[in-house]
Amino acid sequence: MQPLDLYNPTEQHAMLRETVRQFVVKEVEPQALGHDRAEKFNLPLFRKLGSLGLLGITVPEQWGGAGMDATAAVIVHEELSAADPGFCLSYLAHSMLFVNNCTTNSSDAQRARFLPDVLSGDKIAGMGMSEPGAGTDVLGMKSAARKVGDHYVLNGRKMWITNGCISDTELGDIFLIYAKTEGGRLSTFVVEKGMKGFSLGQRIKDKTGMRASPTAELVFDDCEVPEENRLGDEGSSLEHMMRNLEIERLTLAAMSLGIARRCLKVMNQYAQERQSFGQPINRYGQIQNHIATSYAQYMAGRAYVYDTARRTRLDRYGMRTDTDGVKLFCSTMGKVVADSAMQVLGGYGYVGEYVVERLWRDAKLLEIGGGTIEAHQKNITRDLARYPQALD
C-alpha cells in the first residue's frame, strides 16, 4: 500500500484506492474492449459497484453511503478510467450527477424515498440538463414545467443524457431534470421511468468514444411529475446546478488522469521492449520526448486535481475557478498523452489490442462534456477579473 500523501491523505483513502484497483483488474479490465465494441452497457458489473458501496461514495453514512469526500470521488474515477472510461462515465452520471446532487439538495423524506435504490444499483440514474439547442448555455433551455394542482406538467427534450437508456429500447430508471418554472427560473425534478408522458427518444450510437456508456434523448410530452418530486423551492435550482458542476468537473478531470496514467504505462513498457536498429526505442530522443513530456504533464495535472479535491467541500459552492481549471488542463492533457502513446506504439497503437486506441477515442469527450474547454476559459477569465487577489 502506498504511503499517505496528497493522493492518499488517510488510511481510508489508501484502502479505497486499493479496493477499486483490485476490482478494476479483476472485473473491469477484462470486459472493457468487448463492451466498447458492442456499444453495450454492462449492467451486472455496474450493480457490483453498489455492492462495494461506491455508488454513494459522497453520501453521508446516515443515508446509507460511504460518507467520504471529494478526494475519495477523485480516487474512484481515476482508477476506473485507467481501464474503462466509458464504464466510469456512467458511474459519474449516476453517483455524482444524480446521487450527490439529490443528497445535497433534497429533503430528508426525499432522501429516504430516492436514495436506497440508487445506492444499491437497483435503479440506474442520470441527470438531464443539455437539450438539442442548449448545452453550455443552460439558461437557454426550453424544457418547462407548469404547476397544475398537486403536480407539474413537464414538456421538452433532453439530449446527450448519459444513462438515458440501459439498452436500445429501455429507459434508465430515474433522473434529475432541470426545467423552467414560473418566471423562467430553473427548478429540479426527479422524473422516474413509468411516469405518464415520459419516454425514450433516440439512443445515440456510433460515438467516437465512451461507447460502453449509453447516451440517449429523453422526451417529456405533458409528463406528469408529482409536486413532492421537486427538489428544493421552485426556482432555486441554479444554485443546485452550479454547486454540483464543481464535483462533476473535478471528477471528469480525474477521469483524464486515469486515461493519462494508463497510456503512460503502456508506452513506457512498449518503448523498453520494442527494438529498432538493434536497441530499445526508448533510447531515441523522439520517443524520450513523448514519454518524458507526458509524465511531466500527467504529474502536473495529478497534483492540481488532488489539491483542488482537498479544498473542495461538497455542501457549498465556491471552487469554480479551480474545478474549471483542473478540467481545462487535464482534459486536454489526457488527450495529448493518449496521442503520444499512440505515436510511440505506431501501428500497434492504432488497433484495439494495446488499449491506447480506445483510450484515445474516449479522451476527446472530456474536452466537451460537463462544460467545453472554451466555457472553462471564459469562467476562469471572468473569475480572475473579479477576484484578482486569487493570484497573490
Active site residues: 248
Residue 161, SS3 per DSSP: strand
Helix axes 320-345, 373-386, angle to 10 degrees: 140
* Residue with the three cell numbers 454492462: 42
Q: What whole-number distance in Å separates Cα of residue 59 and Cα of residue 314?
A: 10
Q: Cα(198)–Cα(263) distance, rounded to whole angstroms?
A: 41
Cα of first residue to Cα of last residue in the chain, in angstroms, is: 37
Burial of 309 (0-12, 13-18, 19+ CB in 10 A): buried
- Cα separation, 57 vs 297, in Å, equals 28
Q: Which of 329, 332, 364, 360 is nearest to 266 (CA)?
A: 360
At residue 361's C-alpha, the angle toward residues 355 and 364, to 5°, is: 135
Name the residue with cell 474545478. 323
- In the block, cell 464535483 appears at 247
Q: Calculate the CA dihedral of residues 170, 176, 178, 183 and round it to 10 degrees.
A: 120
Note the Cα 176 to chain centre separation in Å. 15
